[in-house]
């Protein structure tokens, strides 16, 4: 009888936990049940994070020496990457003072703004506006998208979690809601599948130019189905959006 390898056992155990188990609501010694963005970024900045596949893909989309606004720029990692490899003129918007402090230390120009407030506005146009992992965190993403509609000359680049991801579908099938947060369940307020997100954009006067799957190493889906069939096999999707013709 062939004995199952430790590697296969680890993968099956991980899959079992993803599909059937609860996720801890209070992690990393955080006993505060309330979600706080300063605490969130304090946790996320522990250790040195590598440049992600998502950032590399964005760098391929953005032309050299473009002007870029990164909304929800966090600690400025993406803008640093774009500045180094594409020589962009970059600025960021962020709400967390913890993240802003780290970004400014790294030489990133950041404005402290709350994009959910009625008085939020952008006073100039950029070649590209980027929002990675932002829209799912706010209650009024439609309002924000409408407000920035005239502030990019080329493209709006957005990434959001894909609730149509195959493991999220299976988790729902087994009676559990998908887990899309990192530190606290209050992180995400809105959820989309690929079709849901595109439908929202079209109703707001945007059209899809391109979309990409995003590699997430922790899920180890091989071969690269996330790249070939992102609507089903990518946990996040990166969208490149334009204004609809006539807008």
pLDDT score for 35 = 60
| Dihedral sign (CA 109, 111, 115, 120) | negative
| Cα 36 from chain centroid (whole Å) | 18
DSSP 216: -
d(CA 93, CA 121): 11
Domain boundaries, the chain: 36-243
Q: For residue 6, what are its two tokens? A: 């430790």
CATH topology of domain 36-243: Rossmann fold (3.40.50)
pLDDT score for 44 = 54
In DSSP notation, 76-144 reads SHHHHHHHHHH--EEEEEES-HHHHHHHHHTT--EEE--TTSTT----S-EEEEEEES-GGGSS-HHHH
pLDDT score for 225 = 81
Integer CA distances (angstroms), 129 to 38, 49, 68, 145, 195, in order: 24, 23, 6, 11, 22
d(CA 156, CA 115): 16
| Cα 62 from chain centroid (whole Å) | 17
**CB of 234 closer than 8 Å to CB of 202:** no
**CB of 94 closer than 8 Å to CB of 41:** no
**CB of 214 closer than 8 Å to CB of 53:** yes
pLDDT score for 45 = 47
CB atoms near residue 173 (< 10 Å):
9
pLDDT tens, position by position, for the chain (247 residues)?
456 677 677 777 777 777 777 766 555 445 555 666 555 555 554 444 445 788 999 999 999 999 999 999 999 999 999 999 999 999 999 999 989 999 999 999 999 999 999 999 999 999 999 999 999 999 999 999 999 999 999 999 999 999 999 989 999 998 888 888 777 777 889 999 999 999 999 999 999 999 999 876 555 555 678 888 999 999 999 999 999 987 6
Kindly give, in sequence order, each residue whose CB lies less than 8 Å from that of residue 26, ignoring residues fewer than 6 positions away.
Answer: 32, 33
pLDDT score for 60 = 95
d(CA 195, CA 89): 33
């Amino acid at each position: 009888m062939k004995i199952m390898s430790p590697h296969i056992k680890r993968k099956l155990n991980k899959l079992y936990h993803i599909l059937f188990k609860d996720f801890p609501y209070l992690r990393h010694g955080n006993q505060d049940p309330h979600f706080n963005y300063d605490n969130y970024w304090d946790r996320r900045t522990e250790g040195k994070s590598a440049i992600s596949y998502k950032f590399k893909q964005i760098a391929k989309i953005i032309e050299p020496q473009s002007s870029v606004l990164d909304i929800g720029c966090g600690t400025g990692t993406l803008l640093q990457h774009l500045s180094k490899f594409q020589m962009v003129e970059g600025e960021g918007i962020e709400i967390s003072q913890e993240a802003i402090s780290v970004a400014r230390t790294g030489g990133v120009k950041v404005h402290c703004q709350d994009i959910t407030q009625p008085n939020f506005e952008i006073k100039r146009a950029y070649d590209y506006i980027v929002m990675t992992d932002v829209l799912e965190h706010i209650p009024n993403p439609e309002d924000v998208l409408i407000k920035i509609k005239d502030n990019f000359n080329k493209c709006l680049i957005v990434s959001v979690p894909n609730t149509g991801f195959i493991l999220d579908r299976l988790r729902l099938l087994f009676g559990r809601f998908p887990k899309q947060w990192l530190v606290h369940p209050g992180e995400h307020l809105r959820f989309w599948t690929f079709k849901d997100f595109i439908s929202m954009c079209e109703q707001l006067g945007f059209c899809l130019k391109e979309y990409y799957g995003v590699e997430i190493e922790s899920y180890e889906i091989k071969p690269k189905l996330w790249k070939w069939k992102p609507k089903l096999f990518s946990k996040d999707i990166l969208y490149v959006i334009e204004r609809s013709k006539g807008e």
